[in-house]
Each structure stands twice: as C-alpha cells, then as structure tokens.
Amino acid sequence: MLDKTIRTILVRLAAGPLLILLLATIGLSTQSYFLYGQHQHLLKEQADARIAADLKLSLENHSKKWGEYLIHYGSAEESERWVSFRGSEVETMKLANQLLVRSDSLSLTESVRHIIYALEVLRISYQEARNSLGQAADIRQALRDLQMINDVPMHLVAEVYHDIQQQAQAASAQFWNKSVGLTICLAVLLALCSVLYLRFSGVFTSRLLQREQAAKQKANWLLKHDYLTGLYNRQSLLKKITLLIDSETPFHLVKVSLLGIGAAGQAHGCSVQDGLITMAAKRLESESAPDDIIARSVGGDFLMIMPGRNDDSLKRGLGKLLDRLGQDFSFKGYRHQISAFAGCCSFPLQARDADRLFQYADIAATHAQLHRMDRAAIYDPKMSQAMENKAEQINQLRLALRRNQLHLHFQPQLNLQTGRVAGVEALARLKSDDPKLNIPTTFIALAEESGLIHLLGQKVAELAVSQISRWHKSGVDITVAINVSPRQLDDPNFVKFLNSLCRQYRVDPKYIDIEIIESDFVNSRHPLLEALSESGFGLSIDDFGTGFSNLGYLSHFQPRQLKIDKTFVDAIETDVRRRDLVRSIVDLAHSQGIQVVAEGIESEAQAELLAAMKADLGQGYWFSKPMPAEALDNIIPGLCGEAHSLSA
C-alpha cells in the first residue's frame, strides 16, 4: 500500500502531463476541424474555377459563331471591332443597336435581336454572379445561367472567370496562412502550459508535503496531549508511568480534582468551563517542579507524576498547589470559586503497577474530598475498605429509596413569646436494613456524595407538601420547613418540580420554607434561590453562625428566617460573649426584617433567655423531638399556649 501523500503527489504529477496532452488533443482536433472546413471551401473554389474554365471554352465556340454573323452581315470595320472588342457591356449594346437599325435583312435582324436578348440576360446574370461571388451555390447558378446563353461577349466571361480564379487563389493563400498561424498558436499555448506546469507543480507538491507533515505532527501531538490544556493526556502519562516502573524509579502519582467546574459550566456555559480548566492547568504548571509530569484526565481531573520527593516535600508541594488552585478565578467578568482536592499514591511503596496506582490515587482524592479538612490525602489501605463500605451503603440507600423506606419526622417551631406552634421542620428518616445508614447525617451525606440526593429531595418534598395539604384540610394552617442541599439547587428543574407539587396538592408556596445551610447559602450564587423567592417560597438560613456570614447576601436574598445554630444556643447560659453575639444576631436579623429561629433549645433557661432577647421562634428537644405527623397530630392543638409542657 502506498502512503496517501505519495499517492496524492503521484496523481498530481501525472495530472500535469495528462492535462497538457488533453489540451494538445483538443487543440489539434480543433485545428484539424477548422482546416478541414477551410480545405473543403478551397476545393469548392477550385471546382468553381474549373467550371468557369469549361464555360469559357464553350462560350468561345459560341462567340466564334456570333462573330461570324457580324463578319458576314456587318461592315469590315464592324467585324474588326468585334474581333478586337474589349469594351464595356454598354458599348456592346450600342453596337448591337447599330446593327439592328442598319440591317434590313430579316435573318440579320433576328440574329441581332438574339444578341441583344443574350446581352440583356448576360447583364443580369453577370451582375448577380458578381454580387454573390464567394457563395459557391450562387456562382454555380450564375455560371449555369451563362451556359444557357448561346452568344455571350468573351470579355465578360473572361472577367467572371478571372474573378473566380482570383477567389480560388485567395482562398488557397488564406488556407495556408491560417493553418500556419493556428499551428504556431497551438505550439505557443502548449509551451506556456508546460512552463506553468513545471513552475507550479513543484510548489503544489511541496505545499502538500508541508501540509501533510503539519497534519501528521498535529495528529501525533493529539495522540499524546490534551487538546484543551496542552498538557499530556492520560495515555501519555500511563506510558511514562510504565517507563518509571520498568526502571524501578520511585515516584508519587497524584490525582488533583477540581470541584465547582461543572457548576460553573452549567451556570455560564461550556466556554467558561473550558476557560477555568485551562487556567487551572496553568496554575498547576506554574506550581509544579521541573521534573513533575502533568496530564489532564477528564473534566476537572488532573494527574501528576512527582518523582524524587520525600513525604515532607510532597506534602508541602501539594499544599502550595492546592492553595494556588483554591484562589478565586476571574474569567469572563465572573469570579469563580473552585475547590481542589488531591490524592496521592507512591510507587513502589503502596502500589507496584499502573492500574493500582491510578486506583489508589483516585481513592485518596475522593477521601480528601469527603473529609474537606484535609485537602490532600495520601493513600492508606483503610481508605479502600472505607470505599468498599461506602459503595455498599450507597447500594443500600438506593434500595431503601426505591422501596419507599424514607419518611418524615416533624419538629415543631414555637413562638417564643406566645408559645404557639408557628411551624414545623420536616426531617428525613430512613428505615433501611443497615441501622448505621439510618442516621440522618450519614444517609444525607451519602446521598449528596452519590447524587441520590435529587431523588431523596424529591421524595422529601412530596411527603412534606402532601402532609401540609392534609393539615390544611384538617384546619391547621401550618408552615413546614424543608431542608434542601445545595446539590439539589444545581438541578434547574428543582423549582419547577416544587411548583408542580404545590399545584398538585393545592398548597400555597408561602407555607413552605426552604432551609439551606449557611455555608452553602453563602457559597451558592444560584439563580434558583431568586426563582424560589419569586415563586413565593420562604428562604431560611440554617445553622446560622457556622458559615462566614456577611450582610450582603442577607439583604440580597431577603431570607424569611435565620436559624441560630445549636452551638450558640448551647453556650448562651454560660458564655456571656456568645450571649451578646446571639443578641446582636437577633437585632441584626430584625433590622433586615428577618425572623429569628433558635435551634436546639434543650432547657427552659435557654428558652427564656432567647425569648428575652426577642428571638422569634424556638425549636429543640425542650419543646419537642422530631416526631411522625400522626404523633404530632395528637398534640398540635395542645401545643398552642403550652410550649414548655412538651419538654423532653
């Protein structure tokens, strides 16, 4: 098999001569066709000349006879004049008339009339013949007419003959001139084509070779590199790892994962996502050591080979790298926050083959991501066990959700001034076969990690809205708070789903508060928060005080409620500073028109202190533990005005 380029070049090289050959063939055919036509014309002219010659001969014979008439009947002078006659047609007519007038002989008169008639016919025919000279058919007709005439003056015939001869000679000369000219033109054209071909065929070929070479280089480059960042791709990295393993060179394999890239892409488009990945790659390059090898795996995942580092230098290097990646990215007018996590596995200490190295670095990175305290994790065999357990738990959770083993407990929120139930918080409960999984913080975290949170969230929302509807039907107009994780807000259909539930169960969204943990609330720049507000849902900032609050987002999103975290409530009895802080939070929230809910109230003293600070609502075991709706049904009427009687 010939190489494609060589084949293309050969085809192009052959195309030139073939083209010239084609041109030559076309030229020669055209020339031959043209010359053939010309030759036919020439032959016709020559044939005409021959006919004219024959005619001349026959007319000469007739003329002799005609001359004899004059010699016989005319005077000697007239006879002479006839013999030497070279005059014009008009003179001939005159002569004939003279003869007619003078003669009294009948036969002579007859003859002269004959002559006059003949001359008259000849005049017309001759004129026509002259006019249409050049058109063979007409000439022939003219000559034929002449032949019909018995007695024609010789000089007229000679003139016609002469013209026709001249025409034939001119046609012959024209034919040869044209044929020579055409041949010269054709030769010049072919020479020009050959010169052009020789001039440009080289250029075409070299350009083609250059392009082919560039395309090959690009293809080779793409085989080894990531098209977006220009870093190595996973395959190249694998080759390099194999070489290092073969040569028994110790190295660390690091997986760096960026979190938040996908959300940025969903919010601002793919170009922003690509831009962020490229910027992150540049940061990675700038923070890496000269002998580090960096590759992009998929999405916001990078892999690095770090050879020749001890544990300390590895940790320092990774720390620096993650700090750099954690700095805000400014791109296309937006500031993007991206969290970076790294997992590391060492050759030959922890794994001796490439597959295991990749797997362990991945496990370590996932571990780092789950335990956000430590952004870089070095692989530990315990992590593998934990991962396996987790995979099993995720399966259990999926099964439990599918089997509808999820239900809700409701914890009342009481007005701290009146003691009346103002609302309840819906809290998810699971009844799976694995008791460890049934702890809310465990299965919620697992659901978030595995993506099952969307399904879980939908089920919670449906259970809550249907319960509100039941309560409303029984005459209890109560507000229910639903906990929503930030990942649920990544789903653009989430608000639509909530609205459709409200329509289905005929519940006004104002009876639903969406609780979002403070830290997630601060970090989320979700347009969905605005959409929720616009649909009439209340926004509630959960665990307030644990995130990094600022006044800006409070005024921007106008939450309905702010829930002071249990850690503050716990401390208000003993810690004066904390108590002052809680008081300030209450004042601050009120100044913004936001209601304050104190979470985790466990004692009467806490309840009273919070009531004195003008906190609006209280929630905690002192009033009621979360309980199923049926249990709550029995005590809701009793709760009104009897808040503390329910203390645990």
336, β-bridge pairs = 329
Choice between 157 and 424, CB closer to Mg ion: 424
Q: Which of residues 544-603 bind Mg ion (CB under 5 A)?
A: 599
Buried (b) or exposed (e) across 393-427, using 16+ Cβ within 10 A?
bbebbbebbeeebbebbbbbbbbbeebebbbbbbb
Choice between 515 and 616, CB closer to Mg ion: 515
Stretch that binds ligand C2E, among 80-88, 89-97, 307-315, 480-488 (CB under 6 A): 480-488
Q: Is 484 in the site for ligand C2E (CB under 6 A)?
A: yes
Choice between 67 and 440, CB closer to ligand C2E: 440
Residues 6+ apart with CB under 8 A from 424: 410, 411, 412, 413, 478, 479, 480, 481, 632
Q: Is 460 in the site for ligand C2E (CB under 6 A)?
A: yes
Give the C-alpha separation, 507 to 509, whole Å.
Answer: 6
Choice between 256 and 460, CB closer to ligand C2E: 460
Stretch that binds ligand C2E, among 111-119, 152-160, 347-355, 619-627 (CB under 6 A): 619-627
Q: Is 543 in the site for Mg ion (CB under 5 A)?
A: yes
Find the shortest distance in angstroms from Cβ 414 to Mg ion: 16
CA dihedral sign of residues 515, 520, 523, 526 = negative
Find the shortest distance in angstroms from Cβ 525 to ligand C2E: 19
SS3 86: coil
Q: Is 602 in the site for ligand C2E (CB under 6 A)?
A: yes
Pick left, alpha or beta for residue 401 (phi over 0 → left; psi -120 to 50 → alpha; otherwise beta). Answer: alpha
**Which residue from 525, 621, 627, 635 is in contact with ligand C2E, where contact means CB under 6 A?**
621
Choice between 142 and 464, CB closer to ligand C2E: 464
621 binds, among Mg ion, ligand C2E, none (CB under 5 to 8 A by kind): ligand C2E
Maximum separation of any 2 CA atoms in the chain, in Å: 175
292 binds, among Mg ion, ligand C2E, none (CB under 5 to 8 A by kind): none
Choice between 153 and 486, CB closer to ligand C2E: 486
Q: Is 542 in the site for Mg ion (CB under 5 A)?
A: yes
User: Which residue type is seen at 253?
Assistant: L
Q: Is 334 in the site for ligand C2E (CB under 6 A)?
A: no
Q: Is 617 in the site for ligand C2E (CB under 6 A)?
A: no
Choice between 178 and 459, CB closer to ligand C2E: 459
Q: Is 146 in the site for ligand C2E (CB under 6 A)?
A: no
Of 609, 548, 547, whose CA–CA distance to 578 is shortest?
609
Edge-first strand listing for the sheet containing 251-259? 232-233, 293-296, 301-307, 251-259, 339-347, 376-378
Q: What is the CA 10 to chain-centroid distance, rounded?
A: 35
Of 413, 322, 425, whose CA–CA distance to 365 is shortest?
322
Of 239, 232, 237, whose CA–CA distance to 253 is shortest?
237
Task: Concatenate the DSSP letters of all residues of 467-494 into one string.
Answer: HHHHHHHTT---EEEEE--HHHHT-TTH
DSSP state of 603: S
Of 273, 257, 258, whose CA–CA distance to 334 is shortest?
273
Contact criterion met (CB below 8 Å) for 128 and 118: no
Q: Is 632 in the site for ligand C2E (CB under 6 A)?
A: no
Of 546, 545, 618, whose CA–CA distance to 588 is shortest?
545
Task: Output the six-digit token pair for 314.
Answer: 């590895």
Task: Output the six-digit token pair for 265.
Answer: 């892409």
Stretch that binds ligand C2E, among 183-191, 265-273, 306-314, 618-626 (CB under 6 A): 618-626
Choice between 288 and 483, CB closer to Mg ion: 483
Pairing outcome for strands 232-233 and 293-296: parallel
Tell me phi and psi for residue 257, to 5 degrees.
Answer: -115, 135
**Which residue from 24, 440, 614, 642 is in contact with ligand C2E, where contact means CB under 6 A?**
440
570 binds, among ligand C2E, Mg ion, none (CB under 5 to 8 A by kind): none
Stretch that binds ligand C2E, among 95-103, 309-317, 502-510, 620-628 (CB under 6 A): 620-628
Of 547, 535, 486, 545, whose CA–CA distance to 507 is shortest?
535
Stretch that binds Mg ion, among 86-94, 219-227, 466-474, 542-550 (CB under 5 A): 542-550
Q: Which of residues 594-623 bind Mg ion (CB under 5 A)?
A: 599
Choice between 485 and 595, CB closer to ligand C2E: 485
Choice between 340 and 444, CB closer to ligand C2E: 444
485 binds, among ligand C2E, Mg ion, none (CB under 5 to 8 A by kind): ligand C2E
Q: Is 610 in the site for ligand C2E (CB under 6 A)?
A: no
351 binds, among Mg ion, ligand C2E, none (CB under 5 to 8 A by kind): none
**Which residue from 444, 478, 498, 501 is in contact with ligand C2E, where contact means CB under 6 A?**
444
**Which residue from 111, 229, 483, 619 is in contact with Mg ion, where contact means CB under 5 A?**
483
Q: Is 361 in the site for ligand C2E (CB under 6 A)?
A: no
Choice between 307 and 440, CB closer to ligand C2E: 440
Q: Which of residues 490-529 bind ligand C2E (CB under 6 A)?
A: 515
Cβ-in-10-Å burial (0-12, 13-18, 19+) of 469 comes to middle
Choice between 154 and 461, CB closer to Mg ion: 461
Q: How many CB atoms neighbour CB 258 within 10 A?
A: 22
**Which residue from 151, 362, 513, 515 is in contact with Mg ion, where contact means CB under 5 A?**
515
Binding site for Mg ion (CB under 5 A): 483, 515, 542-543, 599
Binding site for ligand C2E (CB under 6 A): 411, 427-428, 440-441, 444, 460, 483-485, 515, 542-543, 599-602, 619-621, 626
